[in-house]
């Protein structure tokens, strides 16, 4: 099994680098930084929750889904630029959050179970926004182009991976377990690669402008 500690180190290093430019850069950059820092913390806490408190990270997975959905919705609300797309984004945001909160209010027990529906509903819109952003900037230099690609790539593949993971867990197919976890680590490294490259571009360009 690949060591996930290095992954956390890489992620922490990335967060640090992004954080250095936090106050100098615009809203989009700030939201993105908060997002990756948040993901790092949630991941870290989630993976150690059992060791620390003997709790499974079901609860944290809800938290992760919602956090990601909210932050990335904000993120794309600063990047998308046509009225219709923004309208879709805001309506989805409100409808989805209301739907989920009502769902958990009606049946709080759901909060302690994995929810395929929830993770599907919270990642699919983000994938669509990422695609919209790609589409909007066809043939020109898009802001956060590489971050967007990294997100799109990771959300795309990790959604399947997560669903597969569920299936494997249900079928008790332990031999696939490790493979999936390892693939996930690799995918995350690729994602971080995109994010590092994005940072390089941002710094390079801002030097260019001055």
Name the minimum Å distance from CB 84 to another protein.
Answer: 13
Name the minimum Å distance from CB 50 to another protein.
Answer: 22
Name the minimum Å distance from CB 43 to another protein.
Answer: 21
For residues 122 and 100, what is the distance between their CA atoms, to the nearest angstrom?
10
Chain residues in the site for another protein (CB under 8 A): 116-117, 120, 124, 127-128, 131, 134-135, 138-139, 156, 159-160, 163-164, 166-167, 170-171
- CB nearer another protein, residue 33 or residue 73: 73
For residues 76 and 90, what is the distance between their CA atoms, to the nearest angstrom?
11
For residues 15 and 17, what is the distance between their CA atoms, to the nearest angstrom?
5
Residue tagged 């990756």 (tokens): 36
Residue 202, both tokens:
């941002």
- CB nearer another protein, residue 37 or residue 125: 125
Residue tagged 């150690």 (tokens): 48
Name the minimum Å distance from CB 99 to another protein.
Answer: 17
- CB nearer another protein, residue 16 or residue 163: 163
- CB nearer another protein, residue 41 or residue 124: 124
Taking each helix axis from N to C end, the angle separating 116-136 and 145-171, rounded to the nearest 10 degrees, works out to 160
The two counts, helices (H) then strands (E), for the chain are 7, 0
- CB nearer another protein, residue 172 or residue 207: 172
Residue 149, both tokens:
């690609």
Name the minimum Å distance from CB 134 to another protein.
Answer: 7
């Amino acid at each position: 099994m690949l060591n996930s500690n290095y992954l956390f180190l890489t992620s922490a290093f990335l967060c640090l680098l992004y954080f250095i430019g936090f106050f100098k850069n615009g809203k989009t950059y700030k939201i993105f930084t908060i997002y990756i820092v948040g993901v790092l913390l949630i991941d870290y806490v989630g993976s150690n929750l059992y060791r620390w408190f003997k709790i499974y990270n079901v609860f944290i997975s809800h938290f992760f889904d919602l956090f990601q959905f909210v932050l990335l919705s904000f993120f794309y609300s600063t990047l998308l630029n046509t009225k219709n797309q923004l309208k879709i984004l805001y309506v989805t945001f409100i409808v989805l959050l209301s739907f989920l909160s009502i769902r958990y209010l009606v049946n709080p027990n759901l909060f302690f179970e994995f929810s395929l529906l929830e993770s599907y509903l919270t990642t699919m819109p983000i994938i669509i926004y990422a695609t919209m952003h790609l589409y909007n900037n066809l043939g020109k230099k898009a802001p956060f182009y590489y971050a967007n690609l990294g997100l799109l790539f990771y959300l795309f593949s990790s959604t399947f991976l997560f669903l597969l993971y569920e299936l494997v867990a249900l079928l008790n197919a332990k031999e696939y377990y490790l493979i999936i976890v390892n693939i996930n680590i690799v995918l995350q490294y690729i994602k971080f690669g995109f994010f590092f490259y994005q940072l390089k571009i941002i710094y390079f360009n801002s030097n260019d402008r001055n």
